[in-house]
Amino acid sequence: MRSKRLVSIALQSIRKNKMRTLLTMLGIIIGVGAVIVMVAIGQGAKTHIQRQIDSLGTNLIVITPGAATQGGVSMGAGTFARITIDDYEALRDQSFLLSATSPVIMAGAQVVGGQGNWRTTVNGVSLDYVTIRDWPVSSGAFFDVDDVRGMRRVAVLGATVAEALFPDEEPVGRQVRLRDVPFDVVGVLAEKGQTAEGRDQDDVILAPYTTVQTRLAGRQFLSQIIASTGSRQDIAAAQEEIEGVLRETHDLASYDADDFTVRNQTDLADAAQGTAEVMTLLLAAIASISLLVGGIGIMNIMLVSVTERTHEIGIRMAVGARGGDVMRQFLVESIVMSVLGGALGLGLGFASAELVARITGWSTAIATVMPVIAIGFSGAVGIFFGFYPARRAAGLDPIQALRHE
């Protein structure tokens, strides 16, 4: 019997018992829809995390002070304050793999100006900072090399600070005071948004590191050094190069442990993406239970169908149908029912994912391959759970089947 004819017979059988068929397919519909929604949420989370990590900078490498030890007890990362301007200059001048390098000196300050005051963080940086962080200005300009050399009191405001102090005004050209030191506002940074930890990246003021070091921080040590490479492939080699340069500038012997820490955003991205993938698989596995329930429902209804149509099966065999023909007929009915349920579940999943995104504000993303996987998996469920009823139908004795009422 041709496949087209088998599908036609299967659809006729399904139409005869519309309500029963719909209830049978409900498990498949809910299962496929739930899997689509869960995977969409998981993929959306991965995309959102990657966006936040990318906002930290391009091929970012961060060098921070190491951990000091007192009495055999580690005091924690950042307590060994030995990162200096000399380290920054050594990396800038000696490194072959770093495309940009900037010191970062952090100082908390109450900034006063415009229509009020605001508590924020002032970062003393070099010109390379905006290149590494991929952070352009939205108005005005970034300070230049002469400002750094001359230790000029110029500042670039983050979007949050600019909005807090100058909500209805143009900050560029105005003046703010940081710890009673006047700074001229030369630019406003483009909005960056929050980090993966929820920290507002726009709540910051950037100024020349020479100015912050002498006017605000009052210390020689740096909070960190940030750098970037020309490509992601160079990050691992660049980290080794950084470690070699800093161990030399710190006069560390071969048996001495590093008194600094080198990290890159790739490690952070891999960890975050790995967590998101595990959560996606877990959610999808939980949602897949509905597919199992739906498959069992299809097997039950097909067994009922075999019982109801025993006389029909006997007639088919009496006029020449073989067991394989009967088996294919019932198997196709099971597959068609399952695939139809999968298609309806696919539509439900797309609509539900969109609804979840609108209501919660979460990011959702559905891969283009998901519809193919959903339909294919639905067909597989139909084959797996339809095989036993189809085999049972094919194994009926024609004489006994004809006698069945």
CB atoms within 10 A of CB 116: 11
Give residue 74's pLDDT band: very low, low, confident or very high (50, 70, 90). Answer: very low
**In the prediction, which pLDDT does 6 show?**
63
Please check whether residues 250 and 278 belong to one and the same domain. Answer: no
Q: Which of 234, 258, 282 is the last residue of a domain?
A: 258
Report if residue 315 sits inside a domain: yes
Please check whether residues 153 and 214 belong to one and the same domain. Answer: yes
Give residue 73's pLDDT band: very low, low, confident or very high (50, 70, 90). Answer: very low
Give the pLDDT confidence of 225-278 residue by residue, as tens digits.
999 888 888 888 999 999 999 999 988 888 888 888 888 866 656 655 566 666
Report if residue 61 sits inside a domain: no
The range of the structural domain enclosing residue 280 comes to 3-52+273-403
Please check whether residues 227 and 297 belong to one and the same domain. Answer: no
| Cα separations in angstroms, 135 against 157, 184, 186, 188 | 12, 20, 15, 11
Please check whether residues 204 and 91 belong to one and the same domain. Answer: yes
**In the prediction, which pLDDT does 401 show?**
55
Beta-carbon contacts of 126 under 8 Å, excluding residues fewer than 6 positions away, are 88, 101, 102, 103, 148, 208, 209
Please check whether residues 392 and 297 belong to one and the same domain. Answer: yes
Beta-carbon contacts of 42 under 8 Å, excluding residues fewer than 6 positions away, are 276, 277, 279, 280, 281, 283, 284
Give the pLDDT confidence of 344-360 residue by residue, as tens digits.
888 888 888 888 888 87
Report if residue 180 sits inside a domain: yes
Please check whether residues 115 and 229 belong to one and the same domain. Answer: yes
Report if residue 106 sits inside a domain: yes
Assess whether pLDDT exceeds 60 at residue 178: yes
Give the pLDDT confidence of 277-315 residue by residue, as tens digits.
666 667 667 666 777 777 777 787 777 777 766 666 667
Please check whether residues 144 and 253 belong to one and the same domain. Answer: yes
**In the prediction, which pLDDT does 69 show?**
46
Please check whether residues 220 and 152 belong to one and the same domain. Answer: yes
pTM, whole model, 2 decimals?
Answer: 0.60
Please check whether residues 322 and 198 belong to one and the same domain. Answer: no
Give residue 78's pLDDT band: very low, low, confident or very high (50, 70, 90). Answer: very low
Give residue 184's pLDDT band: very low, low, confident or very high (50, 70, 90). Answer: very high
Report if residue 76 sits inside a domain: no
Report if residue 57 sits inside a domain: no
Give the pLDDT confidence of 23-34 residue by residue, as tens digits.
777 878 888 888
Please check whether residues 182 and 114 belong to one and the same domain. Answer: yes
Q: Which of 258, 292, 320 is the last residue of a domain?
A: 258
Q: Which of 204, 232, 258 is the last residue of a domain?
A: 258
Please check whether residues 187 and 252 belong to one and the same domain. Answer: yes
Domain count for the chain: 2
Please check whether residues 254 and 280 belong to one and the same domain. Answer: no
